[in-house]
Structure 1
Amino acid sequence: MQSRRRFIQGIMLSAGALALPRIAPARAPDGVRVVSTWDFGVGANAAAWQVLGAGGSALDAAEAGARWAEADLCNPTVGRCGNPDRDGVLALDASIMDGDGRCGAVAALEDILHPVSVARAVMEKTPHVMLVGQGAQQFAVAQGFEKTPLLTDEARQAWREWLETSEYDPRINVERRQRPGDRSNHDTLGILALDAAGRLAGACTTSGMAWKMHGRVGDSPIVGAGLYVDNEVGAATASGVGEEMIRNAASFLVVELMRQGRSPLQACREAIERVVRKRPEASRHLQVCFLAMNKAGEVGAFALHEGFVYAMQDGGEGPHDALHESGAVYATGQS
């Protein structure tokens, strides 16, 4: 099933009236491309395109797009406006990966604005892949990142209202569109970039599920689950209920399916079908989404349920940014 393309005009999205960064018109070489999850991916792509359009690296572009989501976007599931856990603590997760196999991640990081940049510092300045909790914060401060409170008044009030019932019932992402005032949904920002040198990179950043157990970590900072990149094949990222991605090493699976000859669309769909086969009953109530790009710049996406969209920007003719609706297993009646 081919994705349906809807071009975005101007710099405002009707789905959320996001304030997007302005970029100067730029024509990059054919094949240069950046894709991101969800409607706010348009803003992340615009920030990344400032790097790609100037001939910069895919790694720098992926970081730039994720940094925009962490600081400039105000979304209850990403960055500084994220909802806290059930104890009222806002903890952020992020990962970054270069196509040469280098990667870094942080999890349960508190009071640091740009976890994706801390993840990159872990990749470039330590012998490790992941730092968590107080250790991640200690490292960030040592690297010059400023420690600052991030929990907003709005998120704190939403947490207090949640405490009245303390009901924890994650919903599939499509319901965010049906109930735009609901702050409880979970939309991760995953971004994949392909630069003029043919190099791939990606990043993933999130505040995780609202009202989660303190210390819970989802797929976003887990290399191979929420993000995987290989210059020889392609890249993949995921969104939705992270436990399902971890159980299936999902982003790695998508890349390996592309290695076996599947297109990005085919790989995403096959990975979704595997999730359904393993946990058919749970799959009826959870959202799982994959976005992939191969080394040639071909893009594909698939989800369990309707509602998953992704943004793409390249150097071709016409509008620089476009929003696409993915296929969905249950929307097509296949389970």
Structure 2
Amino acid sequence: MNGITMDVGAVAAMRYVKDGIKAAKLVMEHTEHTLIVGEKASIFAISMGLQGPSNLSSPESLEKWIRWRASSCQPNFRKNISPTNGCGPYHLTDRCDKNLSEDDIFAASRANSVLFNRHNHDTISMAAIDKAGRIAVGTSTNGATFKIPGRVGDGPIAGSPAYADDEVGACGATGDGDIMMRFLPCYQAVESMRQGMEPSHAAANAISRIAFKYPDFIGAVFAVNKMVSMPGLAMDGRSNTQ
């Protein structure tokens, strides 16, 4: 994201091309679009000079997948289905109960947040401010391990993993993208700084909104204002702040 023009470039569900962040930059700088996905994103990236198509599987990733299949495809990200401990085929189950309390509803919605932790994430989110004060941000990720094919997390969603405004500052984040995109924490942090909030408070405020609904959420938000003061950092659903 270019903080001067507010232009955004993103790709999602792109296979066979290694350099996702470069592909996103090509979208931003050489198209009028914001987001290109799937097979067409791969074709676009290769047509613009990126290397591919390439087999991106590694011996390590293949071994991990084989172990996952041998463990009945656990963990996975499906809910309200049967079998609950298997690789399918899956069938829908009706778990809707009008008599459930609000706490029960929240507990059910939080169940999958335990699939994300500090050891299965590879998100990189960065902000850069040059000597002229121009701001840009970028985010790259492989997504959740063992995700359902076709799943897109918050990586390409402007305002969730990163956001920049040349008049204010920038923000970057990482965590459970399926939850984070519901809150747009980086947009929130930048807008809080626009209203005069310090970066550390803006970061903590953004992540506390997630923690209120999902107290087991694991993630982090950083914020930096245009004055290039010490950046604010808020970690995980317990809103520890540094």
TM-score where L is the length of structure 1: 0.57
Provide the residue aligned with 1:160 in structure 2.
66
CA contact (8 A) 2:204 2:241 kept: no
**Equivalents in 1 of 2:241, 2:179: separation in Å?**
19
Q: Deviation of residue 301 (structure 1)?
A: 0.6
Task: State the Cα distance separating 1:331 from its structure 2 match.
Answer: 8.9
Would you say the 8 A contact 1:109–1:136 is kept in 2?
A: yes
Structure 1 unaligned segments of length 5 or more: list them.
1-96, 177-184, 306-327
> Is the aligned partner of 1:329 residue 2:224?
no
Establish whether residue 141 from structure 1 lines up as the match of residue 51 from structure 2: no
In structure 1, what residue type is equivalent to 2:3? G
Q: Establish whether residue 295 from structure 1 lines up as the match of residue 226 from structure 2.
A: yes
Output one character per residue of 1:157-215: Cα deviation in whole Å (capped at 9) or x when no partner: 11110111211251321xx3xxxxxxxx1131001111011111111000011000111
CA contact (8 A) 2:235 2:241 kept: no
1:130 aligns with 2:30: no
Question: 1:46-61 to 2 correspondence within 5 Å?
Answer: none
Counterpart residue number, 2:145: 210
Name the structure 1 match of 2:171. Answer: 236
Match of 2:208 among 269, 273, 276: 273
May I ask how many residue pairs the two structures share in their alignment? Answer: 200
**Distance of aligned partners of 1:118 and 1:211 in 2 relative to their CA distance in 1, 3 Å threshold:** same
Which blocks of at least 5 consecutive residues in structure 2 are unaligned? 76-113
Where does 1:1-335 land on structure 2 (aligned, <5 Å)? 97-100=1-4, 101-147=6-52, 148-165=54-71, 166-168=73-75, 170-173=115-118, 176=119, 185-277=120-212, 279=213, 282-284=214-216, 286-298=217-229, 299-305=231-237, 328-329=238-239
- Specify the code of the residue in structure 2 equivalent to 1:172: N
State the percentage of identical aligned residues: 35
1:91 is aligned to none
Distance of aligned partners of 1:331 and 1:99 in 2 relative to their CA distance in 1, 3 Å threshold = closer
Residue 99 of structure 2: aligned partner: none
Work out which structure has the larger RCO, using CA pairs closer than 8 Å and 6 or more positions apart in sequence. 1
Q: Which residue of 2 aligns with 1:67?
A: none
CA contact (8 A) 2:200 2:241 kept: no
Q: Is the 8 A contact 2:234 2:241 kept in 1?
A: no
Q: 2 CA distance for matches of 1:233 and 1:272?
A: 19
Task: Read off the aligned partner of 1:235 and give its amino acid letter.
Answer: A
Alpha-carbon contact 2:116-2:175 (below 8 Å) kept: no
**Deviation sequence 1:218-264 (CA, Å, 0-9, x none):** 11111111111000000111101012220001110110011111111
Measured in 2, the distance between the counterparts of 1:291 and 1:163 equals 36
- Could you give the per-residue CA deviations for residues 273-326 of structure 1, whole angstroms, max 9, x where no partner exists? 11122x1xx322x21210111111121110225xxxxxxxxxxxxxxxxxxxxx
- 2 CA distance for matches of 1:331 and 1:190? 18
